[in-house]
Amino acid sequence: MYRSYTEQITKYPLKYSGTNVTAVLTAIKASVMDPRYQAAVSVITQYRETIRRVLEENGVPPGIHGIHYAFGFAVASAMFSHSGPTLARTIAALKARFVGLGALPDICDKIAEALTGFVPYY
């Protein structure tokens, strides 16, 4: 049965009271939400530190660190959803994009290798 927008708005506060939602979220915060947050943050922090190490070891000037961090996080994001040849092609496309924006190609290769364990083909 189709419900109009007005009917949906009228039903919403009856179906979802703020106290019930707050009670449920409070109940699962320590057991579900906090561990998920900690797990996600540790992965992101690990990637950031890996990228920082590559930049520091290769003497990349601080003025262009940002674009390399952006490349590294784009690679990390692709790693969450792709693997194998698809990941390699995605990283190749990301490298082309970021090199066009001013990133250093050899540093992009080193970042990709540090994060994925292999140097993608281009």
Q: What mean pLDDT is reported for the chain?
A: 90
| Dist. CA 85–CA 68, nearest whole Å | 23
Q: Is the pLDDT of residue 122 over 70?
A: no
Q: What is the pTM of this model?
A: 0.74
CATH 3.90.226.10 fits 5-116, yes or no: no
| Dist. CA 120–CA 43, nearest whole Å | 22
Write down the pLDDT at residue 24.
84
Q: Stretch 50-70: mean pLDDT, rounded?
A: 96
Q: CA distances (Å), 12 to each of 2, 3, 26, 35, 48, in order?
A: 15, 12, 21, 30, 41
With a CB cutoff of 8 Å and minimum separation 6, the contacts of 67 are: 98, 101, 102, 103
Residue 90 confidence class, pLDDT cut points 50, 70, 90: very high
Write down the pLDDT at residue 65.
97
- pLDDT digit string (tens) for 32-53? 889 999 988 999 999 999 999 9
Asked if 53 contacts 117 with a C-beta cutoff of 8 angstroms, the reply is: no
Write down the pLDDT at residue 107.
97
User: Which of 5-9, 10-14, 22-26, 72-76 bottoms out in mean pLDDT, i.e. has the lowest?
Assistant: 10-14
